[in-house]
Structure 1
Amino acid sequence: MALIVQKYGGTSVGSTERISHVADKVIAARREGHDLVVVVSAMSGETNRLVALAKSLADPPNPREFDVILATGEQVTIGLLCIALEQKGCPARSYTGAQVRILTDNAYNKARILEIDDQAIRHDLAQGRVVVVAGFQGVDAEGNITTLGRGGSDTTAVALATALKADECQIYTDVDGVYTTDPRIVPRARRLDRLSFEEMLEMASLGSKVLQIRSVEFASKYNVPIRVLSSFEDGPGTLIVPEDSIMEQALISGIAFNKDEAKITVLGVPDRPGIAHQILGVVSSSNIEVDMIIQNIAHDGSSTDFTFTVHRNDFKRAMALVQEKAQELEARQVVGDDRIVKISLVGVGMRSHAGIATQMFQALASEGINIQMISTSEIKISVVVDEKYLELGVRVLHDAFRLEEAA
C-alpha cells in the first residue's frame, strides 16, 4: 500500500461528466490498496470567468478581495468530486486550503506556502476516506484567504505530498507525459519515461507548460517523485526524479521553446561600470522580468551595445522605460523586436559531452536560420531566432539530435 497525492487540472474536471470520470480513477487507485489525497483545480474556464467578473468592477481589483473571489472556483470542484465519490460508494471529505490550514505568506495573488497542518488529513485517511483538497489556495497568519498564482494547484499537490511524506505525487493533465518537444510541431516527438528534476526545471522555465515551475522546485528540494499522467487515457506517464535515480543519462532530453519573447537593444551606450545596472534597474523596479542579457565589447573604447529580452507582454512598457533612460545616458539609439522566439536544448548529458552547441548551430545554419542571441548553462543551450523560424528550428533540431529514438 502506498500514500499517493493525485492532482487533476481544470480540463480534467471541466464538467460533471469529467468529474465523475475522475472519481472512477480515484476509486480504481483505492482498489489497488492505496491511500489517496486528491488536489483539484477549478473547472476549466472558471478562473478566467472569476477574473473577468472582478475586473469588470475594478482593474486592478483589491488584491485581498480578488483572492477571496478566485478561491471559490476550487471550492466548487472539491464539493462536486466528493459528491461523485460518495455516490459511487467511496467515503470522501473535502477541505479548502483554509480548512487544511495551508499556511502561506500574505503576498496576495502569488502567495508562497510556509507550512501545512496535516493532522485532519491523516485522521480522515485513517478512517478510510479519500481526502479532496482545493488547490491553488491557502490562508495567511491572520486568516486571510490567499492564492498561489496561476498553476498553483501543482504546487499545492507537491507541498501536500511533502508534508504527508507521500510515495508519489501524480499530476493528471490533458497530456500523457512530458515529450521530447511539442507533438503538435513534431508529430514524431517521443514521450519520456523519466526526467531529472533539473531537466524539468529547465524545461518549465524555458516554456514547457506541463508543470508549474514552483511545483518542480518544491519537489526537487524535498525529493518528491512526480509522475505526469493523462486524465483521459491510461499509460505510465513520465516520472520526474532526482538525477542519481536515472541510470542512463540522455545526451539531450528535450527541446523547449517560448513564443512570448521580445528583445530590446541600447546602441552606443557609454562603456563604464554601472551602466548595466542603470539600464536594467529601471526595468526590474517596474516588476518586469529580464531573461537573456548580452553586452558587446566596445569597439572604440568608449561605447558599447547592450541587449536583453523580456516577456512580449512587457515589451512596450519596457521600451518606454529604456528609451527614457537611454536619453539620460546619451546612448545613440534604442531598438526593439517583439517578433522573436527562444528555442532551447535541455539535457543533463551535456555536462559530459562537448560539441553540442556546434551541432546545434550547424543544424540551424543548414536551414538558413540566423541566431540573434545565445545563452548557456550546464544542461541547457538557448538561442533567440526570428519567430517565423520557430517550427522549422524545433523540427530540424529534433531531427539533428535524433530525439525520436529512445536512448
Structure 2
Amino acid sequence: MGLIVQKFGGTSVGTTERIQAVADKVKASREDGDDVVVVVSAMSGETNRLLELAEAVHADPPARELDVLLSTGEQVTIALLTMALEQIGCPARCYTGAQVRILTDSSFSRARILDIDAEVLRDDLQEGRVVVVAGFQGVDEEGALTTLGRGGSDTTAVALAAALEADECQIYTDVDGVYTTDPRVVPEARRLDSITVDEMLELSSLGSKVLQIRAVEFAGKYRVPLRVLSSFEPGPGTLITYEDNEMEEPLISGIAFNRDEAKVAVIGVPDTPGIAADLLGSVAGANIEVDMIIQNIGQQGLTDFTFTVHKRDYETTLDLVQRKAEELGARQVVGDDKIVKISLVGVGMRSHAGVANTMFKALSDEGINIQMISTSEIKISVVVDDKYLELGVRALHKAFELENVTPVAELEGLSES
C-alpha cells in the first residue's frame, strides 16, 4: 500500500458530473490499495466570478478581504467531492487550508507556504478515509486566510505530498502530460514519458502552462515524484523526475515560447561602471521584473543596453527608462512589444556541442532574424518578431526531430562541432 496525493484542477471539477467522475477515479485508486489525499481547485470559472463580485463593490478590493472571498471557491469543491465520495461508499473527510493548518506568510494573494501540520490527515488516512483538501489557500500566524496565487493548488498538492512523504503526487488536468511543445502550434508534438525537474522548471518559467513553477520548485526541493495526467483520458502521463538514471538524456526535451515579452533598448549610453544599475534601478523600484539583458561592447565611450520585460509592464518601463536615459545623456531609447521568446530546453545540452548552431541555422533557413540570445546550461532562448512564432517553433521541432518516439541523442554533425 502506498500513499498518493492527487490534485484536480478547475476544469476537472467544473460541473457536478465531473466531480462525480473524479470521485469514481479516487475510489478506484483507493480500491487499488493506496491511501489517497485529494487536493482540488475551485470549479472552473468560479474564481473569476468571485473577483467580479469583489470589483463590483470596491474598485481596488483590500487584499486581506479578497483572500477571504476567493478561498470560498475551493471550499465549495471539497464539500461536493466529499459528498460524492460518501455517496459511492468511499469514506472521506474534507478540510480547508486553515483546518489542516497550512501555515503561510502574510503576503495576501501570493502567500508562500512555511509549514504544514499533517497529523490530522494521517489520523484520517489510518482510519481508512480519503482526505480532501482545499488547494490554493492557507492561514498566517495571525489566523488570517491567505491564498497562494493563480495555480496555487498545484503547490498545495506538492507541499502536502512532501509533508506526508507520499510515494507520488499526481496532477490531473485537461492535458495528458507534458509535450515537446504546444500541440496547437505543432500537431506532431509528442507527449514525453518523463522529464527532469530541471527541464520542467525551465519550461514552466519560459511559458509552459502545464504546471505552476512554484509546484515544480517544491517537487525538486523535497524530491517529490510528480506526474501529470489527464482527468479525461486514461494514460501514464508524464513523470517529472531526477537526472539519476544511467541512460543518456535526450538532447532537447522541449520547446517553450512566451508571447508576453517586450523589449527596451537604450542606445548610446555612457559606458561607465554602474550604468546597468542606474538604468535598471528605477525599473526594479517599480516592482517590474527584467528577463533577458544584453550590453554591447563599448565603443568611443558609449554602449548599447537592451533588456526584456513582461508586455503588461512595457509602457511603464519605457517611460521610466526614457527619463533615466535623459539624465544619463543617452542618444535614444527604443522599444518593441511585437516580439516573442522561443526557448530550447534539454539536459542533454550539457554534454553535446552544436545545439546553438543547429538552432540558429534552422531559424535562418526560414528567414527569421534573431534579435536577442540568452543561454544557460540546459536552455537557449532567442527573441524574434512575433509574426514568426509558429514558423520558428515548427522549424526547431523539425530540426531537432522532436516528433520521433525515441529522440535522437546526437544530430548529424553535432558531436563533431
AA partner of residue 394 (structure 2): R
SS at match of 2:247: coil
Alpha-carbon distance change, 245 to 3 in structure 1, aligned in 2, over 3 angstroms: farther
Segments of structure 2 that go 5 or more residues without pairing to the other structure are: 408-417
AA partner of residue 87 (structure 2): Q
Alpha-carbon distance change, 246 to 16 in structure 1, aligned in 2, over 3 angstroms: farther
Aligned to 2:334: 335
Aligned to 2:351: 352
CA distance in structure 1 between the aligned counterparts of 2:273 and 2:332, rounded to whole angstroms: 20
Aligned to 1:363: 362
Give the conservation status (yes or no) of the 8 Å contact 1:196–1:246: no
Aligned to 1:326: 325
Counting only pairs closer than 5 Å after superposition, residues 60-209 of structure 1 correspond to structure 2 as 60-209=60-209
Does residue 384 in structure 1 map to residue 383 in structure 2? Answer: yes
CA distance in structure 2 between the aligned counterparts of 1:279 and 1:245, rounded to whole angstroms: 45
**Structure-2-length-normalised TM-score:** 0.96
CA distance in structure 1 between the aligned counterparts of 2:48 and 2:105, rounded to whole angstroms: 24
Give the conservation status (yes or no) of the 8 Å contact 1:363–1:396: yes
CA distance in structure 2 between the aligned counterparts of 1:179 and 1:251, rounded to whole angstroms: 15
CA distance in structure 2 between the aligned counterparts of 1:260 and 1:201, rounded to whole angstroms: 18
Alpha-carbon distance change, 38 to 245 in structure 1, aligned in 2, over 3 angstroms: farther
Give the conservation status (yes or no) of the 8 Å contact 1:262–1:312: yes
CA distance in structure 2 between the aligned counterparts of 1:269 and 1:369, rounded to whole angstroms: 28
Shift of 1:58: 2.6
SS at match of 1:243: coil
Aligned to 1:395: 394
Does residue 18 in structure 1 map to residue 23 in structure 2? Answer: no
CA distance in structure 2 between the aligned counterparts of 1:92 and 1:278, rounded to whole angstroms: 58
CA distance in structure 2 between the aligned counterparts of 1:199 and 1:348, rounded to whole angstroms: 7
When structure 1 is superposed on structure 2, of 40-49 and 156-165 the one drifting more is 40-49
Give the conservation status (yes or no) of the 8 Å contact 1:298–1:304: yes
When structure 1 is superposed on structure 2, of 243-252 and 45-54 the one drifting more is 243-252
Aligned to 1:222: 222
CA distance in structure 2 between the aligned counterparts of 1:60 and 1:321, rounded to whole angstroms: 24
Alignment root-mean-square deviation, CA: 0.8
Counting only pairs closer than 5 Å after superposition, residues 48-59 of structure 1 correspond to structure 2 as 48-59=48-59
CA distance in structure 2 between the aligned counterparts of 1:52 and 1:245, rounded to whole angstroms: 49
SS at match of 2:244: helix
AA partner of residue 377 (structure 1): S
When structure 1 is superposed on structure 2, of 242-251 and 354-363 the one drifting more is 242-251
Aligned to 2:310: 311
When structure 1 is superposed on structure 2, of 46-55 and 87-96 the one drifting more is 46-55
Aligned to 2:275: 275
Segments of structure 1 that go 5 or more residues without pairing to the other structure are: none
AA partner of residue 339 (structure 1): K
Once the two structures are superposed, what CA deviation does each residue of 1:165-202 show, in whole Å capped at 9, x if it has no partner?
00000000000000000001111111000100000000
Shift of 1:246: 6.6
AA partner of residue 63 (structure 2): P
When structure 1 is superposed on structure 2, of 270-279 and 52-61 the one drifting more is 52-61
Aligned to 1:8: 8
CA distance in structure 2 between the aligned counterparts of 1:287 and 1:396, rounded to whole angstroms: 36
- Size of the alignment, in residue pairs? 406
CA distance in structure 2 between the aligned counterparts of 1:95 and 1:343, rounded to whole angstroms: 41
CA distance in structure 2 between the aligned counterparts of 1:396 and 1:85, rounded to whole angstroms: 48
CA distance in structure 2 between the aligned counterparts of 1:291 and 1:348, rounded to whole angstroms: 21
Once the two structures are superposed, what CA deviation does each residue of 1:16-40 show, in whole Å capped at 9, x if it has no partner?
1111111111011111011000000
SS at match of 2:6: strand
SS at match of 1:51: helix
CA distance in structure 2 between the aligned counterparts of 1:70 and 1:324, rounded to whole angstroms: 39
CA distance in structure 2 between the aligned counterparts of 1:15 and 1:141, rounded to whole angstroms: 34
Aligned to 1:288: 288
Once the two structures are superposed, what CA deviation does each residue of 1:121-142 show, in whole Å capped at 9, x if it has no partner?
0000011110000000000011
Shift of 1:303: 1.2
CA distance in structure 2 between the aligned counterparts of 1:94 and 1:334, rounded to whole angstroms: 56
Give the conservation status (yes or no) of the 8 Å contact 1:194–1:246: no
Aligned to 2:372: 373
AA partner of residue 18 (structure 2): R
**Structure-1-length-normalised TM-score:** 0.99
Once the two structures are superposed, what CA deviation does each residue of 1:275-311 show, in whole Å capped at 9, x if it has no partner?
11111111111111110000111222x1111100000
Shift of 1:244: 0.8
CA distance in structure 1 between the aligned counterparts of 2:352 and 2:59, rounded to whole angstroms: 51
AA partner of residue 111 (structure 1): A
Shift of 1:61: 1.4
Give the conservation status (yes or no) of the 8 Å contact 1:261–1:311: yes
CA distance in structure 2 between the aligned counterparts of 1:276 and 1:70, rounded to whole angstroms: 40
Aligned to 2:249: 249
The percentage of aligned residue pairs carrying the same residue is: 73
AA partner of residue 367 (structure 1): E
CA distance in structure 2 between the aligned counterparts of 1:246 and 1:9, rounded to whole angstroms: 34
AA partner of residue 362 (structure 1): K
Give the conservation status (yes or no) of the 8 Å contact 1:6–1:170: yes
CA distance in structure 2 between the aligned counterparts of 1:348 and 1:388, rounded to whole angstroms: 29
Shift of 1:64: 0.5
Alpha-carbon distance change, 263 to 162 in structure 1, aligned in 2, over 3 angstroms: same
Once the two structures are superposed, what CA deviation does each residue of 1:184-242 show, in whole Å capped at 9, x if it has no partner?
11111110001000000000000000000000000001100000000001000000011
Counting only pairs closer than 5 Å after superposition, residues 10-49 of structure 1 correspond to structure 2 as 10-49=10-49
CA distance in structure 2 between the aligned counterparts of 1:26 and 1:198, rounded to whole angstroms: 30
SS at match of 1:244: coil
